[in-house]
Amino acid sequence: MTEFKLPRGIVISGTGLWTPPDAISNEELVEAYNSYAERFNERHAAEIEAGDMAAKPLSSAEFIEKASGIKNRYVISREGILDPGRMRPYLPERPDEEISLQAEMGLKAAKLALQKAGKTPADIDAVIVGASYMQRAYPAIAIEIQGALGIDGFAFDMEVACSSATFSLQRALDAVAAGSARSVLVINPELASPQIDFTDRDSHFIFGDVAVASVVERRDTCAVDSAWEVLSTRAQTVFSNNIRSNFGYTARAADVDPFGPGKLFRQNGRKVFKEVCPMAAAHIEEHVRSAGTEPAEVNRYWLHQANINMNNLIARKLMGDDASEERAPIVLDRYANTGCAGSVIAFNLYSDDLAEGDRGVICSFGAGYSIGSLVVEKVSL
């Protein structure tokens, strides 16, 4: 586990949230899935009867909400997802000369973050894109966004699954602390819907698409009245197979279907819950204390948004009887699991009301296992 106590004076001066216009409710998703499952079971009735194939179980909106707390998700395109004959989004391929879909998402969030921070592209020296999935291997999505904004500097992509947002924020802070950049634009465009197996009852409802962005800079260059000073960061990874995606280019060399069984997102939910909750709670508790605050005294926790039961358990561990949705906001009911972006969505939506001197924790946890956290304090400038 690594912890870095930053030199004072480095802040997150603005964030941006771009939400896709298309949304899908649990009821809509279940209607499409159940129609698919019934057709599948009818088509394979003989194999199912012989015990050679498992029947597809039906689902319900109530099952999804009870299991996850999710009621809705935003997606880049509803087309295809709700078609029982397709069961995956339809996203037409773009020519190389046109901006990629993931870069377009990130660009929209980036412009909102720059506007909130009172910055222009000329003020930015570096762009970091962190996401659970990248649309392509290269050129980097970050460099594409850098080019679209006209930023003179450097850019790179990084991927740590669910913790890509907090890890990329930490790399931005490192760059500003080291003096290799004055201001860094961190972008987390989560294009998750193409990696979902919409024919799997236990995972088809989990993810949504979204893009968030943040501006990291020194306090003395801020152009806004208030910002969030980062007091300390901490990162931790422990290898686990319980959350996995095997989609990759080597499928071509193995003569297997790159979208076949086991290649898209899958998880052992019960093991993840049992192992990640205590790991995340201990990580946050130790980090907050090392930064000079008791966990129960933290004004707000912006936690990873994967499962409401996980968040509630961690919040109670940290805050006891004072745990509440006001102090640990939930956004997954509307956005679903958005990969690494959930904690930054919560921070974007539920931070302006806090006062100078209030402290909070931005924390993500999940596949890897990986955990990243930042202890922040609101400051007036």
Active site residues per annotation: 162
Q: What are phi and psi of 380, to 5 degrees?
A: -95, 145
Please, what's the b/e burial string for 256-268 (b: 16 or more CB within 10 A of its CB; e: otherwise)? eeeeeeebbbbbe
Q: What are phi and psi of 235, to 5 degrees?
A: -135, 145
d(CA 245, CA 268): 12
| Residues found in the chain | 381
Identify residue 98 by its one-letter amino acid code. E
Q: Shortest CA distance to 267 belongs to which of 364, 197, 192?
A: 197
Helix or strand (DSSP H, E) at 243: strand 243-244
All residues at 6 or more sequence positions from 369 whose CB lies less than 8 Å from its CB, including other chains:
237, 238, 239, 240, 242, 243, 275, 276, 279
The two structure tokens encoding residue 119: 């910055």
Q: How far is CA 286 from the centre of its chain?
A: 23
Q: How many CA atoms lie within 13 A of 119 on its CB side?
A: 31
d(CA 270, CA 221): 46
Identify residue 216 by its one-letter amino acid code. V
Helix boundaries (H) for 69-193: 101-117, 141-149, 164-178
Q: How many helices (H) and strands (E) does the chain have?
A: 11, 14
Rg (CA), the chain: 21
The two structure tokens encoding residue 40: 């599948």
**DSSP for 319-375, written as a single string:** HGGG--TTTS---HHHH-B-GGGHHHHHHHHSSTTPPTT-EEEEEEEETTTEEEEEE
